[in-house]
Amino acid sequence: RVHFGPGPQAEGREVFRALDSALAAPFFVLPFPVGGGSDWEGGIFRLHVSFSRRGREAGPEARAPLSPQEPSGPPPPTQAQQKESIQAVRRSLPVFPFREELLAAIADHQVLIIEGETGSGKTTQIPQYLFEEGYTKKGMKIACTQPRRVAAMSVAARVAREMGVKLGNEVGYSIRFEDCTSERTVLRYMTDGMLLREFLSEPDLASYSVVMVDEAHERTLHTDILFGLIKDVARFRPELKVLVASATLDTARFSTFFDDAPVFRIPGRRFPVDIFYTKAPEADYLEACVVSVLQIHVTQPPGDILVFLTGQEEIEAACEMLQDRCRRLGSKIRELLVLPIYANLPSDMQARIFQPTPPGARKVVVATNIAETSLTIEGIIYVLDPGFCKQKRNKQPTSFQISSNQRAGRAGRVAAGKCFRLYTAWAYQHELEETTVPEIQRTSLGNVVLLLKSLGIHDLMHFDFLDPPPYETLLLALEQLYALGALNHLGELTTSGRKMAELPVDPMLSKMILASEKYSCSEEILTVAAMLSVNNSIFYRPKDKVVHADNARVNFFLPGGDHLVLLNVYTQWAESGYSSQWCYENFVQFRSMRRARDVREQLEGLLERVEVGLSSCQGDYIRVRKAITAGYFYHTARLTRSGYRTVKQQQTVFIHPNSSLFEEQPRWLLYHELVLTTKEFMRQVLEIESSWLLEVAPHYYKAKELEDPHSKKMPKKIGKTREELG
Ligand code: CDP
Ligand code: MG
């Protein structure tokens, strides 16, 4: 039974209103009688999250809310009307009044830093202004980079619509493994990584008249490297225009880096946002999130909700939980549209988050931090921030006040908003750093070093970095590339290294593909590579069919390990004629498989460039395993008396419980990656023989270190079985 707020006499609407105005909703108050609902009494739902109000984030000035978007009248708008309304929206964006001034500044300066709040129209409008101004005459192109794939795709689609052209014609996007551009494409939205690769084919970017490095504040590794390269190109191409766009105030750094380039500020438009913190830390933030969304839905006035989670798995779980609970509540609550958004989501699904919410309903968008600055969704009034984000290898607290503030800001775009933080005010003040550490200072650099080397940049220590990476990280990357045979002992690119740079994948993965030539199994290795690229989202496990799903997964197991399981899944799927029905029956994600097929095709198309012929191992999986080892000999672990230790660094690691080898516990294995959750888990593991390491990497391993000190008896099982883990 739900216990109501201030006093026993207060009831229904009154309590509801009182709580709403205080907003510290100490209970999950339902505006309907709860009696009889066994769902509620059975304690299935947790009923509330307590928030307390702390302060208000006010924007520079609060203007009147934008006129609400459609839908207004029943007759569908004519094409001309639609066009007019699109143009009206364009004119309403904060950047619009500055169009001429901005174009003049671009004409006057080679490099311009542009600062403006998210949603002011930087990404969608500025390239269009340049197009209208004639910067694409004589076949010249405009590049606009995005750190995220989803942003590149969705923004390009939006701009194509605004310009009334088909996506892929004048406006297109290019992201890894997916090119939606043509000869005619003059406005190119692309990931920062793709522009980096452009340097390989066109080192001076001669076909571009403007390069706009967008979302510069995100400081991704690729964006940071681009800065150095573009600064260099700009020196000997005075006619090239360089724009650096950023959503935050930290533009002085960029300006200094580009020899004191001027900063153009687009004044913001932002409404005040009330911030609420939880009174105590939340143990299960996913659960707390779901409860809070329902709490907002039931107690708060109209307005859409934006929730920040860390990744696909979590987002899908949250959406499922929300849908499930809404279903159970049925008509007791108003309609709640639950929409996910993350990088691998198919584009038709992505487009749904931008559609206006039907009257009477509420939309909740569950997003990764893509929605922090890269995407703007109209109509968001409530933001729910659990305070976590994913950084490369693991999940961690958002840890930056700057991110938290960005997230909160998303609530104040169309009207005054509210932001609910699932952490305490104390945590905000004491546990969060002020700003982000650039990715270059916390990630491995193998890829980038290989790329720079192939661009002829040898002296990496003196490359013009905005913030240089730590010396050790750079050294580690060089060492790894040397071990992989991409660099010789002088640090120069080898033939094999040149080929590795041609493939848009991690050096270890490229090495594996190159090695498939020697072991005559490129067909299989391509499949493994493609499947590894869509990693982690192959199988699904609906809550009501857990047993079936697990059985289906185990049926794919092959001796040898997870890479062969992936190969097996793909092969069977291909034999089914790439059928979606087959996926459904086997609890395999059709979407992921389709993507794997695309990736595989792209990689196959590149084989010729790296001089690898098509060949098949004809069922001799030892060859496949050896080829994988040739790429991943760096990632090996051996079973010792105290569990698994990585061979070189002697780090304690564990086989992931989802692995096909979880119970086998082979003595030697390699892993695709380490993920740190509760422990350091190895994901996608493959059983190997230590002698293979000498075969594929004699320069890296010495026979001595591969001897088994206690060769005969090993404890049968170390660690817990899957059942014991629950
Ligand atoms: O780049 P910036 O954050 O300054 O703004 P923008 O991305 O150009 O967004 C300008 C407007 O376009 C916003 O009001 C968005 O809601 C809208 N937009 C959209 O409707 N669909 C997209 N895929 C991207 C932006
Ligand atoms: Mg933008």
- Per-residue model confidence as pLDDT tens digits over 77-132: 677 877 888 899 999 999 999 999 999 999 999 999 999 988 899 999 999 999 99
Asked if residue 340 has its Cβ within 6 Å of ligand 1, the reply is: no
Mean per-residue pLDDT, 388-417 = 72
Asked if residue 251 has its Cβ within 6 Å of ligand 1, the reply is: no
Ligand 1 nearest atom to the CA of residue 373, by list position: 3
Task: Note the pLDDT of residue 435.
Answer: 64
Please give the residue that has the higher pLDDT: either 433 or 574: 574
Asked if residue 118 has its Cβ within 6 Å of ligand 1, the reply is: yes
Task: Note the pLDDT of residue 121.
Answer: 94
Q: Strand pairing of 178-180 and 263-266?
A: unpaired
Task: Note the pLDDT of residue 664.
Answer: 92
Q: Is pLDDT above 60 for 43?
A: no
Q: How far is the CA of 116 from the centre of ligand 2 (A)?
A: 9
Please give the residue that has the higher pLDDT: either 513 or 677: 513
Q: Is pLDDT above 60 for 691?
A: yes
Give the type of residue at 227.
F
Residue (of 41, 51, 45, 47) closest to 20 by Cα position: 51
Compute the mean pLDDT over every residue in the chain, rounded to the nearest whole number.
84
Task: Note the pLDDT of residue 69.
Answer: 40
> Which residue owns the Cα nearest ligand 1 atom 17?
376
For a pocket test of ligand 1, which of 173, 341, 365, 376 has the largest count of ligand atoms closer than 8 A to its C-beta?
376
Total residues found in the chain within this entry: 726
pLDDT category at 726 given cuts 50, 70, 90 is very low
Asked if residue 413 has its Cβ within 6 Å of ligand 1, the reply is: no
Task: Note the pLDDT of residue 1.
Answer: 34
Task: Note the pLDDT of residue 40.
Answer: 34
Q: What is the 3-state secondary structure (H, E, C) of 660-700?
A: CCCCCCCCEEEEEEEEECCCEEEEEEEECCHHHHHHHCCCC
Mean per-residue pLDDT, 32-38 = 32
Beta-strand ranges (E) seen in 37-158 are 51-57, 111-116, 141-146
Asked if residue 116 has its Cβ within 6 Å of ligand 1, the reply is: yes
Give dist(CA 429, CA 431) in Å, integer.
6
Asked if residue 241 has its Cβ within 6 Å of ligand 1, the reply is: no
Residue (of 717, 697, 686) closest to 562 by Cα position: 686
At 242-290, the pLDDT tens digits run 999 998 767 899 999 999 999 999 987 778 889 898 888 887 888 889 9
Task: Note the pLDDT of residue 526.
Answer: 97
Please give the residue that has the higher pLDDT: either 401 or 377: 377
Q: Specify the 3-state DSSP secondary structure of 364.
A: strand
Ligand located closest to 94 CA: 1
Mean per-residue pLDDT, 692-708 = 88
Asked if residue 114 has its Cβ within 6 Å of ligand 1, the reply is: no
Give dist(CA 67, CA 92) in Å, integer.
10
pLDDT category at 411 given cuts 50, 70, 90 is confident
Q: Is pLDDT above 70 for 23?
A: no
Give strand pairing partners of 561: 686
Residue (of 226, 230, 231) closest to 215 by Cα position: 226
Ligand 1 nearest atom to the CA of residue 116, by list position: 4
For a pocket test of ligand 1, which of 70, 118, 158 has the largest count of ligand atoms closer than 8 A to its C-beta?
158
Give dist(CA 141, CA 172) in Å, integer.
11
Give strand pairing partners of 668: 638
pLDDT category at 397 given cuts 50, 70, 90 is low
> Which residue owns the Cα nearest ligand 1 atom 10?
121
As to burial, measured by CB atoms within 10 angstroms (0-12 exposed, 13-18 middle, 19+ buried), residue 109 is: middle
Question: Is the CB of residue 160 less than 8 Å from the CB of residue 194?
Answer: no
Q: Strand pairing of 51-57 and 208-213?
A: unpaired
Q: Is pLDDT above 70 for 663?
A: yes
Asked if residue 219 has its Cβ within 6 Å of ligand 1, the reply is: no
Give strand pairing partners of 191: 146
Give dist(CA 688, CA 621) in Å, integer.
11
Q: Specify the 3-state DSSP secondary structure of 448.
A: helix
Q: Residue 72 CB: number of other CB atoms within 10 A?
A: 8
Q: How far is the CA of 316 from the centre of ligand 2 (A)?
A: 25
Please state which of the ranges 163-172, 278-287, 386-395 shows the lowest mean pLDDT.
Answer: 386-395
Q: From the DSSP assignment, how many helices (H) and strands (E) are in the chain?
A: 27, 22
Asked if residue 350 has its Cβ within 6 Å of ligand 1, the reply is: no
Residue (of 276, 272, 273, 274) closest to 423 by Cα position: 276
Peptide bond into 71 cis (omega under 30): yes
Q: Is pLDDT above 50 for 12?
A: no
Task: Note the pLDDT of residue 675.
Answer: 83
Task: Note the pLDDT of residue 408.
Answer: 85
Mean per-residue pLDDT, 636-650 = 92
> Which residue owns the Cα nearest ligand 1 atom 15?
376
pLDDT category at 716 given cuts 50, 70, 90 is very low
Give dist(CA 366, CA 353) in Å, integer.
10
Q: How far is the CA of 230 from the centre of ligand 1 (A)?
A: 26
For a pocket test of ligand 1, which of 67, 82, 124, 266 has the largest count of ligand atoms closer than 8 A to its C-beta?
124
Give strand pairing partners of 227: none
Q: How far is the CA of 394 from the centre of ligand 1 (A)?
A: 29
At 341-365, the pLDDT tens digits run 987 787 778 888 888 889 889 999 9
Q: How far is the CA of 144 from the centre of ligand 1 (A)?
A: 14
Asked if residue 123 has its Cβ within 6 Å of ligand 1, the reply is: yes
Mean per-residue pLDDT, 537-561 = 90
Please state which of the ranges 35-44, 504-513, 657-666 shows the lowest mean pLDDT.
Answer: 35-44
pTM, two decimals, is: 0.78
pLDDT category at 75 given cuts 50, 70, 90 is low
Question: Is the CB of residue 26 less than 8 Å from the CB of residue 5?
Answer: yes
Task: Note the pLDDT of residue 271.
Answer: 84
